[in-house]
Amino acid sequence: MKKYVLALDQGTTSSRTIVFDKKGRIVSKAQFEFEQIYPNSGWVEHNPYEILDSQLRSLSVALRNGKINPKEIAAIGITNQRETTILWDKETGKPVYNAIVWQCRRTAQICEKLKAEGLDDYVKEHTGLLIDAYFSATKIKWILDNVPEARTLAAEGKLLFGTVETWLIWNLTNKQVHITDYSNAARTMLFDIEKLCWDEHLCKTLGIPMSILPEVKESSSVYGYVSEDVAGLKELAGIPISGAIGDQQAALFGQACFNAGQAKNTYGTGCFLLMNTGDKRPHSKNNLIEGIAWGINGKVIYDLEGSAFNAGSVIKWLRDELRMISEPSECDFLAESVRDSNGVYLVPAFTGLGAPYWDMYARGCIVGLTRGANRAHFARAVLESIAYQVADLCEAMSKDSDIIMSELRVDGGASVSNILLQIQANLSSTKVNRPKLVETTALGAAYMAGLAVGFWKDFDEIEKVREVDRVFVPLIDNNTREEMLKGWHKAVERSKEWEEK
């Protein structure tokens, strides 16, 4: 009897495996961090082999720790850091360059050139995206233009491109399956989200051979099976890999946001706010991204998305670079020890500003410092900086959807912080709903895999699994909120004054 579904959760700073049972409960998990590579200012890379090795290691350890018999595993689902770009030789399996991470800004000048050529409207109309270094397309172009071996292999029909789930599936199936799903394809800036195919004009404009692109499939589908030739995974041979979905869409699904108008925010390395808009493509007038949430049962569901590039990474910066805290919980303790931030505002535009500003040249800044500002005020300003960014996204999303957000479902590592979520409820003027299980990204991938093989019957069965831990309600008046937001927006303007074109 099949008792479990495995979720591989490949994130920006670590790889995790979580084993779920039929009631959506965690049975076992394991996690391993891997190196962040910063070759130049604004550049971010990962070693693709480290991504793969850390993911496989976490899988083995999760099974061992949980004393799980592989024969009891029904399926494997994968969720991944999106946009991160890997190109590799399909014969040797060797990457031609490090993975260029979604945070990397090296292709900003390529984006400026595309804008100067008047490509903005075409990109928006066909892909739902804005031209930005964030997405995969210009990263692919950079590798092709700067790694001689890449063009040669492409000309010989030996080069493959993939985002991280594509790389993992290709390796798990021992070079047999080269696929992606709708949610990930829609983040490349090369995929037509209405025609549901790769865009020939964009590929030609960017000099990207369409032969390197993976086949696009539904997010819940049997893509292939674990190969017995994958080192260390012989006991898993034959288990179906039947779910693939980008991390933020996975969290939307894991939060059971199945109906149009439901929204979630994930507090991870960045902040990602998504709203389900149903089977009709949305059209944003407030610089939000129009994308595909998932494809399942022959139907595509669309979403609106707003991203803040730095969230949990700001707390990590406070710990690792500034050494103001020794662990994340200390940030909460300090923030709770003061009533407010004493006028201190931090804009964490370390890699530019995401929605609704989309300023790739903005840089982080701290304003409002006085002699009375101390470490506790700074810690509170860090948490507020995360909540302010999400408040901006909520406002833009409400305008685009004509839906007043009455509830925001939340997850991700930083969502364990009560003080952060209370600040969020205050600044967004909405209820903030945290589930008992905040590992909704991995859960969403597990659901996708399980639905494909009949482990879960339907959406109704999944919806009953979600349990609420706590709901935070706004505790400040409108005047206070408006004054705080006014100060924040002034600080944002300061960060945008830094130009490095």
Q: What is the pLDDT of residue 260?
A: 85
Q: What is the pLDDT of residue 282?
A: 84
Instruction: Supply the pLDDT for residue 103.
Output: 86
- CB neighbour burial string for 125-139, b if at least 16 within 10 angstroms, e if fewer: ebbbbbbbbbbbbbb
CA 371 – CA 152 distance, rounded (Å): 60
| Whole-number Cα distances in Å, 306 to 169, 213, 300, 395 | 28, 26, 20, 10
Whether pLDDT at 403 is above 90: no
Place of tokens 């706590």: 470
Mean pLDDT, all residues of the chain: 92
For residue range 62-75, list pLDDT tens digits in order: 998 999 988 999 99
Average pLDDT, stretch 351-372? 89
Mean per-residue pLDDT for 95-114?
Answer: 93
Other CB atoms within 10 A of residue 487 CB: 18
How many Å separate Cα 236 from the centre of its chain? 28
Q: What is the pLDDT of residue 499?
A: 63
Closest by CA to 445, choosing from 296, 341, 225, 285, is 296
Classified as helix, coil or strand, 288 is coil
Omega within 30 of 0 (cis) for the link into 356: yes
163-188 pLDDT tens trace: 999 999 999 999 889 999 999 999 99
Predicted confidence (pLDDT) at residue 500 exceeds the cutoff of 80: no
Give the tens place of pLDDT for each residue, 314-353: 999 999 998 988 898 999 999 999 999 999 999 999 988 8
Task: Report the 3 state secondary structure along 84-116.
Answer: CEEEEECCCCCECCCEECCCCCCCHHHHHHHHH
pLDDT at 216 over 60: yes
The Cα 293–Cα 76 span in angstroms is: 19
Mean pLDDT over 129-151 rounds to: 93
Query: What confidence tier does 231 reach under pLDDT thresholds 50, 70, 90?
Result: low
Q: For residues 271 and 287, give the distance between their C-alpha atoms in angstroms, rounded to a whole number.
A: 16
| Contact (CB, 8 A) for 496 and 347 | no
Asked if the model's pLDDT at residue 296 lies above 90, the reply is yes
| DSSP string over 216-255 | EE-SEEEEEE--TTSTT-GGGTT-EEEEEEEHHHHHHHHT
DSSP state of 188: T
- At 154 the pLDDT is 93
Q: What is the pLDDT of residues 116-126, one digit of tens each?
A: 999 999 999 99
The one-letter code for the residue type at 137 is: A
Question: Which phi and psi (to 5°) does residue 77 adopt?
Answer: -115, 150
pLDDT of residue 501: 45
Reply yes or no on whether the pLDDT at 134 is more than 90: no
Percent of the chain exceeding pLDDT 70 equals 99
Give the pLDDT score at 359: 86
Burial environment of residue 353 by CB neighbours within 10 A (0 to 12, 13 to 18, 19 or more): buried
Q: Report the predicted TM-score, pTM, of the whole model to 2 decimal places.
A: 0.85
User: Lowest-confidence range among 73-87, 155-169, 226-240, 276-290?
Assistant: 226-240
